[in-house]
């Protein structure tokens, strides 16, 4: 399947409570050491995920989903041509790749991820 879901993350006001809930619910494991300020979720199968603190400017917690793309710049151009809006432009993630966040014409937010090769 082209452009599969490749990552999910919880933006939450209480990361420890989030880890306790999903750890007990799904028996997930967590890595708090690899990326300071960001918890990697290890669900035991793909896709992997993350948990991070909700910034004060964000109105509420949410779940973000990211879709794999081979060419992030081209996908961002195409998204805007189709009526989407770029919320977070191409941003590097050290040792991982690049990501961006967009909304579709209805305002639904999704993430795009171009892994390093």
pLDDT, tens only, 73-87 = 999 999 999 999 999
80, HSE (Cβ side, Cα atoms, 13 Å): 12
Position 1 scores a pLDDT of 54
Quickly list DSSP for 15-52: HHHHHHHHHHHH--EEEEEEETTEEEEE-SSSSEEEEE
Q: Look at the pTM and tell me if it is higher than 0.85.
A: yes
| Percent helix, strand and coil across the chain, each to the nearest 5 | 20, 50, 35
Delineate the domains of the chain, giving CATH numbers in brackets: 1-62 (3.10.180.10), 69-117 (3.10.180.10)
Whole-number Å distance between alpha carbons of 91 and 78: 18
- For the stretch 15-71, pLDDT in tens is 999 999 999 999 999 999 999 999 999 999 999 999 999 999 988 999 999 999 999
């Amino acid at each position: 399947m082209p452009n599969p879901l490749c990552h999910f993350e919880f933006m939450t006001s209480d990361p420890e409570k989030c880890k306790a809930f999903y750890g007990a619910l799904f028996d997930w494991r967590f890595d708090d050491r690899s990326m300071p300020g960001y918890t990697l979720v290890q669900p035991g199968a793909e896709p992997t995920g993350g948990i991070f603190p909700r910034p004060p400017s964000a109105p509420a917690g949410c779940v973000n989903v990211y879709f794999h793309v081979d060419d992030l710049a081209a996908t961002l151009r195409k998204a805007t041509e189709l009526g989407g809006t770029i919320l977070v432009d191409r941003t590097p993630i050290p040792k991982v790749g690049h990501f961006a966040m967009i909304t579709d014409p209805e305002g639904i937010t999704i993430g795009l991820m171009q892994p390093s090769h």
